Structure 1
Amino acid sequence: MKEEAWGWHGDQVLFEDGDFPCDDSSLLSDGSTPVARLRGDVTWRRPQEVSQSPTLFPENINLGHAKQGLLGDCWFLCACTVLLKNKHLLNKVLPPDQPQWGDSRYRGSFLFHFWQQGHWTEVTIDDRLPCVNSALCFSRCHSPTAFWVALLEKAYAKLHGSYELLWAGQVSEALVDLTGGLSERWNLGDAGSEEEPRTEQDSDRVRRLDLNLLYPMKDGCALSCSTHSSPGGATELDQYHALTVMEWLDVRMVSGGQVRLLRIRNPWGRCCWGGAWIGSSGAGWNSVEPSCAADLQGKAAEGEFWLDESEFLSHFHDVTVGYPISDEMHLKSIYTGNLLTHTHQLAGRWIKGHSAGGCRNCSSYGNNPKFWLKVSEAGEVLVSLLQHRKQRRKEQYTQMPGKDSKNTKHQHYQAVALHMWKVEKKRFNLSRMLNKPPCASTHCHAYEREVVLHAQLEPAHYLLIPSTFLAGAEAHFLIRVFSSSPTSLSALKSPAPSLPSTTDGEWEIVCFQGSWVMGTNAGGSRNFPSHWQNPCFPFTVCDDTAATSEVNVRITLHQTSHDTDLYPIGFHIYKVAAGGSEVALPKDEEPVASCVPHCYTQDVSLACCLPPGAYAIVPSTYQPDLSGNFTLTLARRVHRKVVKSQERLGRAIQEVSHISVMQS
């Protein structure tokens, strides 16, 4: 973190943000977009240097909508519209009562909140804004005196790393970042293509939207549309341009029928449409009553235009829907209108060689992270899988406008999906269950930041498995559950190794608790000289000195870290000298048994036969100086005569395959 700086403006000391300085490092990433042309021409000015009477919001809220500048972030500006519709959301993102220009408390800084990976994150900026020729060069409000959009854009650019990193993106991502809710993308393409075969590999196919589904929720949900090429009526629309659906309604025609009209806002702030309902001269207006036509035409502000449903479906390629959010910040379902008052979230991770099992085509699918969803009462449930964006470095970021959007998404995200199975019994066979069709799933693996599963569920336990399409693909993710009825969400831990069978003898079980402490006894694997500093646990096999037969031993090492913070662990067993108060490890001798290589897993175990004698177990992480807690479980076979008894405190369960136990 760089030091904060303070600059003088008149008789005031104003904040200057050292973490997002007013230079090319905040403006550019790798210079691969047209923003690079501004290099050397940008000056940074505070709002009072741009307008004589700056304010955050204009008195006429219609003039507070965003107008796009020289930055290709229409996707973000479309999402900003939702804030003007929901005051509670606006106050969450831009906390009210911050000192503005002319206030004695004003110090040139503003605080914003963005939802990131499950939590609201604070972003503080100074109010120096990029300008060319004394005018804002990026986004601004339609009112020249309002600056909330320009400041919000700067805070979002700081969150991403630079203004240039906002060039091109997904409306759905910005909607979630600004609301903490859910959004889904729907295709408006030719329904005839539905007949094409669908496969798991068809990872970019999106579902097709029937506008009638959304009509009951049209006033509450955020709606954006985008075009991937220049349609005939929209001569100025460029590739991948996003627009906002401001309003849509069914209008009675003179003929007695109805026509569905949609009012669209172009972030460019100018009309770019030439359809049947353009301005007041479009031929479509002749089909409705003159008074109705005049009323609707008067609603179209600067940069807005009307079109009917057939034009909408034929000229736009997809729609992004942001779920309505109540004043209490609860989600509303776009499918039913139900209020989803119960929410849960858990983080997870796909780790190569451990939990990145790939799709259902892969034999390793069952290795993926698993979660229990307990539904207590019948109700509507939405489960989302949100993956973290791949780490980006400015010099590695390349996203030229007009490139294939598929490649852009593949660069930042894995293809992911979510499947759900209803579990009928407390104990079940995982492999057998996974061979059955899931009761619900996302439509396919998709290169999206977030995919959403929707279902009406009856009371039961359900197993959720998030997966990447390719085995070994690594990423962090967040599972979120929104439901109308009480639910609970928990991670299914890796199953503990089954204890030795008790039907053919007795076993003595001992547990040791231990810790690796950085700088003290976290010695790492045998590749490091510090290995011998690791904790050491002595044990004996058969105290009878006359015994010669080998003894069955099973050792399990369990690390207590969360699934997302696992270390690669393993252990070695050494033969040591009997007797003595201290154990001397034979550093020049090989271990008699080992549980290696070190694995990213909760538990590692080893079953072996050892001759009578003295031994020591040395558990370790692969790298030295990694702190953590662990449990060692040692089971030794005890040879005793079986004593027949009438007591039955329980019965042994023979596990012949992978068995998972449901945690209530």
Structure 2
Amino acid sequence: MASPGITVRLLGDPSSEPARAVPHVGQRYQELRRQCLEQRRLFTDPSFDAVPSSLGYWELGLGSENIKGLEWKRPQEICRSPKFIEEDMSRTDVKQGKLSDCWFLAAAASLTLYPRLMQRVVPRGQSFAREDYAGIFHFQFWQYGQWVDVVVDDRLPVKNGELVFVHSCQSDEFWMPLLEKAYAKLNGSYEAINGGYMNEAFVDLTGGVGETYQLKMPNPELFKVIRAALTKRSLMGAHIKITRREDMEGQTPEGLVKGHAYSITAVRKLDHGGKKLKLLRLRNPWGKVEWNGRWSDNSPLWAGLVPQTSLQVRKEDGEFWMQMDDFLRYFDALEICSLTPDLLEEEKGVGWNVHAFQGRWSTGFTAGGCRSSGLRDGFWMNPQYHVRLLEADEADLRKQRLDPSCTLLVSLMQKDRRQDRKRGKDFLPIGFEILKMPKEVTNEREVVISLSPWAGLPSQLAAGRLIRSG
């Protein structure tokens, strides 16, 4: 018999099913583009106009010193022959501007390594060719269970003739500045995307499920985790935590940037002096400022490799190799985004089931606080989602393990918090716990954990944080 208390019964979210992208604010790209071509005019976006409110509300708001002298210009007013994409989209196309959105840019740079994923975010068929050009572009982002198609015009913030925010190494390439503008529009303004964690961007760019590893907690299997994640085409990033706001983007003597997001793009094992070394390749979205320690671009250690390797690239492009133990010493968190089945190419062994649910904490009904707070007695009031894992992982079955595991990934998201920043609101420190139920109640169809049993149940996982990074 179920324990007394509140039961929250979840209904499957229909938007979690694969579907066409929904037009953001009702703007349909093909229809708007056709109208502009027929009327021989360039598109101007009334829902994200070239006005101060599109830039921001405080640091980039009306009257701010930061936006003095800023203009909005179309690419053909910035360079002679603009191109949407120069050859192919590459991680080196992404160079951060005067906006603290490295978390988004590093995620976008990682995504370029997987063209099939990038084509979902940056739809094909867009260009500045005269016969196709109407000053309108579109991009797609995943939002709370569905893909959203965001339309933008190509007016970009410029100061002294140069782009203010993200730009490409090729001065005539504009896919990345326009992608950044579309993401700013989705979140309300450019300033709204100041600061964040890479997993937030990874999820918005893929619809995948994010998880975080704290690097100061020993994990002998971490290199295997990273290598397996890259093999599965998961997206990854890392950052160095800060404790004071003034430390944001401060540089260490080793050439690393605090509070800054780096993408992880490759791993290698090398034989050096009779030892097996583990190396990671990272990239700074600034496109400059690199690690200067062991195995950096100019490290003498490369000369000792026999045979010589092509891994070493002496170029100030923001990309560098780093030994695993140095990575663990200087970085604080690793973020991994695992992709869902609709984003993975069909292959044997992929057996994910995906479910999305929506809900809320309501004061007096389903808001019970956390166990570590003074509201512990009300913890049972929180929404309880009961999950039974019935199928073992195929890898464990193949190895005929006596106690096989079943992988479960859980992601918790907050809606529309960036749009509310202009009203003084921000992300809340929310979280969840996964608890192992006693065997005697696992066969019950309806189980509610009430007040007393919480204290005796071991927490298998606790996750909670305030999403904020530089």
TM-score interval, normalised by the smaller of the two chains: 0.7 to 0.9
Where 2:450 maps in the other structure, the secondary structure is helix
Distance 1:13 1:427 in 2: 61
Task: Determine which of 206, 218, 222 is the counterpart of 2:235.
Answer: 222
Is the 1:224–1:320 contact (alpha carbons within 8 Å) kept by the matching residues of 2?
A: yes
Equivalent residue letter for 2:229:
M
State yes or no: 1:319 paired with 2:346: no
Distance 1:78 1:279 in 2: 20
Q: Which one scores higher on RCO, CA 8 angstroms, separation ≥ 6?
A: 2
C-alpha change, 1:342 and 1:393, in structure 2 (3 Å) is closer
Correspondence for 1:357: 368
Is the 1:3–1:18 contact (alpha carbons within 8 Å) kept by the matching residues of 2?
A: no
Correspondence for 2:343: 329
Distance 2:27 2:119 in 1: 28
Where 2:140 maps in the other structure, the secondary structure is strand
Distance 1:416 1:139 in 2: 32
C-alpha change, 1:208 and 1:163, in structure 2 (3 Å) is farther
C-alpha change, 1:13 and 1:26, in structure 2 (3 Å) is same
Correspondence for 2:15: none
CA RMSD of aligned residues (A): 3.5
Equivalent residue letter for 2:461:
T
C-alpha change, 1:154 and 1:32, in structure 2 (3 Å) is closer
Correspondence for 1:251: 270
Distance 2:363 2:418 in 1: 17
State yes or no: 1:369 paired with 2:388: no
Superposition deviation, residue 216 in structure 1:
2.5
State yes or no: 1:283 paired with 2:311: no
Equivalent residue letter for 1:23:
V
1:410-454 deviation per Cα after TM superposition (whole angstroms, max 9, x unaligned) = x411332133444233465743884475576422544459xxxxx
Is the 1:419–1:438 contact (alpha carbons within 8 Å) kept by the matching residues of 2?
A: no
Where 1:353 maps in the other structure, the secondary structure is coil
Correspondence for 1:262: 280
State yes or no: 1:94 paired with 2:122: yes
C-alpha change, 1:437 and 1:263, in structure 2 (3 Å) is same
Is the 1:71–1:138 contact (alpha carbons within 8 Å) kept by the matching residues of 2?
A: yes
Equivalent residue letter for 2:296:
I
Structure 2 counterparts to residues 571-650 of structure 1, below 5 A: none
Superposition deviation, residue 178 in structure 1:
0.6
1:136-163 deviation per Cα after TM superposition (whole angstroms, max 9, x unaligned) = 1110122222211100100011111111
Correspondence for 1:572: none
Correspondence for 2:225: 213
Correspondence for 1:507: none
1:361-406 deviation per Cα after TM superposition (whole angstroms, max 9, x unaligned) = 62322322233434453443223232335475454448xxxxxxxx
State yes or no: 1:234 paired with 2:254: yes
Superposition deviation, residue 286 in structure 1:
3.6
Superposition deviation, residue 44 in structure 1:
1.2
Bigger fraction of residues in strand:
1
C-alpha change, 1:44 and 1:261, in structure 2 (3 Å) is same
C-alpha change, 1:315 and 1:417, in structure 2 (3 Å) is same
Distance 1:64 1:13 in 2: 33
Where 1:339 maps in the other structure, the secondary structure is coil
C-alpha change, 1:78 and 1:343, in structure 2 (3 Å) is same
Correspondence for 2:74: 46
Distance 1:38 1:429 in 2: 54
Superposition deviation, residue 272 in structure 1:
2.8
Distance 2:303 2:166 in 1: 37
Distance 1:24 1:448 in 2: 26
Superposition deviation, residue 16 in structure 1:
0.3
Is the 1:74–1:241 contact (alpha carbons within 8 Å) kept by the matching residues of 2?
A: yes
Distance 2:366 2:91 in 1: 51
State yes or no: 1:58 paired with 2:86: yes
Distance 1:13 1:143 in 2: 27
Equivalent residue letter for 2:321:
W
Distance 2:217 2:26 in 1: 52
Superposition deviation, residue 318 in structure 1:
1.5
Is the 1:92–1:113 contact (alpha carbons within 8 Å) kept by the matching residues of 2?
A: yes
Is the 1:115–1:180 contact (alpha carbons within 8 Å) kept by the matching residues of 2?
A: yes
Equivalent residue letter for 2:271:
R
Where 1:382 maps in the other structure, the secondary structure is coil
Unaligned runs of at least 5 residues, structure 2: 1-24, 243-249, 393-405
Distance 1:412 1:377 in 2: 35
| TM-score, with structure 2 as normaliser | 0.77
Equivalent residue letter for 2:444:
K
Distance 1:57 1:65 in 2: 10
Task: Determine which of 112, 118, 123 is the counterpart of 1:84.
Answer: 112
Distance 2:161 2:295 in 1: 38
Is the 2:193–2:418 contact (alpha carbons within 8 Å) kept by the matching residues of 1?
A: no
State yes or no: 1:124 paired with 2:151: yes
Distance 2:271 2:314 in 1: 17
Distance 1:265 1:240 in 2: 14
Equivalent residue letter for 2:148:
T
Task: Determine which of 145, 153, 164 is the counterpart of 2:172.
Answer: 145
State yes or no: 1:72 paired with 2:100: yes
Structure 2 counterparts to residues 503-542 of structure 1, below 5 A: none
Equivalent residue letter for 1:258:
K
CA radius of gyration, larger in: 1
Equivalenced residues, count: 410
Where 1:91 maps in the other structure, the secondary structure is helix
State yes or no: 1:154 paired with 2:169: no
Structure 2 counterparts to residues 130-209 of structure 1, below 5 A: 130-189=157-216, 191=218
Is the 1:271–1:305 contact (alpha carbons within 8 Å) kept by the matching residues of 2?
A: no
Distance 1:395 1:436 in 2: 40
| TM-score, with structure 1 as normaliser | 0.56
Where 2:408 maps in the other structure, the secondary structure is strand
Distance 2:386 2:217 in 1: 38
Structure 2 counterparts to residues 22-33 of structure 1, below 5 A: 22-31=50-59
Distance 1:324 1:437 in 2: 35
Unaligned runs of at least 5 residues, structure 1: 192-206, 399-410, 450-664
Equivalent residue letter for 1:289:
V
Equivalent residue letter for 1:16:
T
Distance 1:121 1:151 in 2: 16
Equivalent residue letter for 1:45:
K
Distance 2:215 2:221 in 1: 6
Equivalent residue letter for 2:103:
W
Distance 1:156 1:51 in 2: 23
C-alpha change, 1:310 and 1:430, in structure 2 (3 Å) is closer
Where 2:411 maps in the other structure, the secondary structure is strand
